[in-house]
């Protein structure tokens, strides 16, 4: 029974990783789409929002009041906010092409890694089913 819970936890974690990668890639794509829009401010998925969203779905035991506690959770998921510390051009736009392309590549790599692990897990399950015949 413990292995079933572990498998479910692994599958859920991989699903969350894939979801986060898709979110980061969508935000980067939106930034690239607005690279020439005057006054546009670069958006990013905030780590704390993603962490709060995740912790809201997990029971967190607090052993000390000074330790991190689980938030009430957010049903809408992590949101993007303006990226800080980026220099704006004269038109007020601060999108940096290299930064966004790098973010898209990293998100694609994260998604691909999770997808590869899931595919291997499903191959093991299929193998176990076929060996049982």
Planar angle of CA 51, 56, 58, nearest 5 degrees:
95
Q: What is the pLDDT of residue 74?
A: 40
State the residue range of the domain holding 19: 2-131
Q: Is 31 exposed, middle or buried (0-12, 13-18, 19+ CB in 10 A)?
A: buried
More confident residue, 117 or 8: 117
Domains of the chain: total: 1
Q: What is the arithmetic mean of pLDDT over 70-98?
A: 74
Picking from 79, 99, 120, 89, the residue whose alpha carbon sits closest to that of residue 32 is: 99
pLDDT-derived band at 34 (thresholds 50, 70, 90) equals: very high
């Amino acid at each position: 029974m413990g292995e079933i819970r572990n498998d479910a936890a692994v599958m859920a974690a991989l699903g969350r990783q894939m979801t986060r990668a898709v979110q980061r890639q969508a935000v980067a794509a939106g930034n690239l789409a607005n690279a020439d829009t005057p006054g546009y401010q670069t958006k990013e998925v905030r780590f704390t929002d993603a962490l709060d969203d995740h912790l809201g779905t997990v029971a967190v035991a607090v052993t000390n009041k000074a330790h991190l506690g689980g938030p009430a959770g957010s049903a809408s998921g992590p949101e993007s906010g303006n990226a800080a510390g980026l220099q704006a051009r004269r038109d007020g736009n601060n999108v940096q092409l290299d930064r966004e392309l790098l973010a898209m590549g990293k998100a694609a790599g994260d998604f691909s890694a999770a997808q590869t692990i899931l595919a291997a897990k499903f191959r093991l399950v299929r193998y176990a089913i076929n060996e049982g015949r």
